[in-house]
Structure 1
């Protein structure tokens, strides 16, 4: 008699750990909106896609095509030297770090999701805790737990007066301290990492420099830059999700060396390496992209908020529709709305939401 071998216990647990992924796959099977072919089709405002600059990027890519014959062999595991130097130049130009970033501080991998898993494996042992503020990036919990086996400790900011500004720093630190102490005393979980998204996702707010410095010194109990590690991807700002390109920036050589041991699972394609290298080397071209993008994003935000006000849908200042439960939000009735796509389609979606809310309120 043959015996059917089942997946491992951790694999079986993962089958029920990602309701977002399951929902997203179901959504993809629904008839999608098209102004002519499917005017009543589904409009998906949940994904953090950025199609406002698709025409600009298409023109750029077509002007400087890659030679695919140069992309068929293996490339460097964690990014070519040219890529790492170009990334350092980009970070120094547009992020104004307190001290210049150098190529030796950077590790490249196939996307930020892979890097989150890599960092979780590098910094923590199974069962240790990761503090993170909510609402937050809806995949954070999954990325930190499914393979590395960490325990996530969400800390709600909805009752804090101002978690982003320096005047709310002491209140924010108290909330984090309380969550960390409670995790240790009540559950025996040692919190090893504080994970921040900046700008925040889904609120689209930036933490003040004073807040970031205060969190580093008070929560990490250190002023050492070697305990601060940054992740950055090309998917959101530049809509290059298909290239799968992300960067770990750290001034800690031991952490970088340890993370590199897991890079066999995050190997870049040569095509991605070459395309992103060429793009990041052209800082003036990037400046032109960002100037155009900021203008278009501002107009998209204006049209979106106008539509929300028209249909009397309350909203917070935001940049990025997912149910609040999928963003770690502990208040019902809150959603993430991504407006960085065709404004006419976004306005139609908001009209549909407004009509649905009217139907709910009137009971008709």
Structure 2
């Protein structure tokens, strides 16, 4: 029997995703990771936002504590997470996010990762075609998370020479909102923040969050604060401009007189602060919107967390002595590795975005350095693609600024939350790629 044409057996949306997946190198890279002894020809991966610095400590804890009760082999308390887990998460986040009003278990919905949580808020707040504001540069996977299944429209916000996390950025959000609504006839329904910021590695100042809340109130749109890096905040010991800002959760701001509290929501998860992407556990926090919670109950089946992840996460977060020690050690390691990486690129004349104090990222201008080393290049040549091809040739993977909506070509994100030997090998290959 003749094989059917793909266009006849897939929907248009599935075919679009199939085409995009075929062009995505990341899955090939993850299956061919460098190891000096077993796979010396593999890729050195400093492009995926994972934190492997504390795996030994976390595994030691898990492997001595985990004993799974039988109820976690059942549907337990439903698709939004067990009562025990939601209580553990709320108590843990009360200690660390300092919400104005303490979190309660019924104000949380647990999902199988924060990507599912992002998809849920997009689905719940915006109809197909309606807009969600997202400042540039942004975490690249926000785009499919917000739009692929919910079919909302991501509205990128351009800042030009304005600090994306500064007070003047608020005007840019409003401009993007008005232009989208006037040009499409569709409404903007939400504003998405990554706080702390991926890929810039900084925290939004409290006064800027307040002004963004006022903007959301003015247009009656939701503020979604993705705080997945909330506890991965550390001391910057080598560069102080712009001055590093301490992390303050959107939930720690009293909405009275600023914004309808039904419009304020936060996200968190185990992937980054606990270096546990594979646990696949995220949290949606909404303290004042019962209709939103009722809607999430209706779709929680599609993001049901594993019973093992549910039990394991509760076990970890209930142990405050362990989590306090873990967080402090992790923050110290992140601080040290940021200093090492930033010093390395600075000593080799590579521009980077300074003033970081959060997450795992150094935002570097490899395109500028490449042009300096290769003056024969035409100014019209797309420098980001040229550098990316050089990096892959040298078997090192970084995330390109093009995937993050960077307003300027040539910027890349280095993930420095790596064991020292991997980071050293990656930086050596990056330098070789630029010099080649």
Matched-pair contact (CA < 8 Å) for 2:338–2:416 = yes
Deviation of 1:10 after TM superposition, in Å, equals: 2.0
Deviation of 1:18 after TM superposition, in Å, equals: 5.3
Distance 1:106 1:180 in 2: 29
Matched-pair contact (CA < 8 Å) for 2:216–2:259 = no
Q: Does 1:357 align with 2:434?
A: yes
Tell me the equivalent position of 1:227: 263
Deviation of 1:239 after TM superposition, in Å, equals: 1.5
Distance 2:322 2:60 in 1: 12
Tell me the equivalent position of 2:122: 120
Distance 1:207 1:50 in 2: 22
Deviation of 1:7 after TM superposition, in Å, equals: 1.3
Distance 1:260 1:229 in 2: 16
Structure 1 residues 312-357: Cα deviation after superposition (integer angstroms, max 9, x where no partner): 2221135322000111112110001100011222122111111221
Tell me the equivalent position of 1:87: 89
Q: Does 1:328 align with 2:325?
A: no
Deviation of 1:19 after TM superposition, in Å, equals: 7.4
Deviation of 1:29 after TM superposition, in Å, equals: 4.3
Matched-pair contact (CA < 8 Å) for 2:146–2:154 = yes
| One of 282, 288, 301 as aligned partner of 1:264 | 301
Tell me the equivalent position of 1:216: 213
Once the two structures are superposed, the pairs formed by residues 61-210 of structure 1 within 5 Å of their partners are: 61-67=62-68, 69-76=70-77, 77-160=79-162, 162-164=163-165, 168-169=166-167, 171-210=168-207
Matched-pair contact (CA < 8 Å) for 1:303–1:347 = no
Query: Helix, strand or coil: the match of 2:284?
Result: strand
Matched-pair contact (CA < 8 Å) for 2:217–2:260 = no
Unaligned runs of 5+ in 1: 360-364
Q: Does 1:309 align with 2:346?
A: yes
Matched-pair contact (CA < 8 Å) for 2:170–2:208 = no
Q: Does 1:45 align with 2:82?
A: no
Deviation of 1:74 after TM superposition, in Å, equals: 2.2
Deviation of 1:214 after TM superposition, in Å, equals: 1.2
Structure 1 residues 38-70: Cα deviation after superposition (integer angstroms, max 9, x where no partner): 334310111001000011101111120223655
Distance 2:202 2:142 in 1: 18
Tell me the equivalent position of 2:233: none
Deviation of 1:72 after TM superposition, in Å, equals: 2.2
Distance 1:146 1:307 in 2: 38
Q: Stretches of 4+ moved more than 4 A in 1?
A: 1-5, 17-20
Query: Helix, strand or coil: the match of 1:302?
Result: helix
TM-score (norm 2): 0.77
TM-score (norm 1): 0.91
Structure 1 residues 137-165: Cα deviation after superposition (integer angstroms, max 9, x where no partner): 110011111111111110133521x332x
- CA, structure 1 residues 69+256, in 2 after alignment: closer, same or farther (shift >3 Å)? closer
Query: Helix, strand or coil: the match of 2:194?
Result: coil
Structure 1 residues 197-251: Cα deviation after superposition (integer angstroms, max 9, x where no partner): 0001011110011111110112332512210111111001102221211100002
| One of 13, 29, 35 as aligned partner of 2:16 | 13
Deviation of 1:94 after TM superposition, in Å, equals: 0.6
Query: Helix, strand or coil: the match of 1:219?
Result: helix
Matched-pair contact (CA < 8 Å) for 2:134–2:156 = yes
Once the two structures are superposed, the pairs formed by residues 238-317 of structure 1 within 5 Å of their partners are: 238-251=274-287, 252-317=289-354
Query: Helix, strand or coil: the match of 2:413?
Result: coil
Distance 2:211 2:132 in 1: 18
Distance 1:278 1:150 in 2: 36
Unaligned runs of 5+ in 2: 219-257, 362-397
How many matched pairs? 352
| Cα root mean square deviation, aligned | 1.9
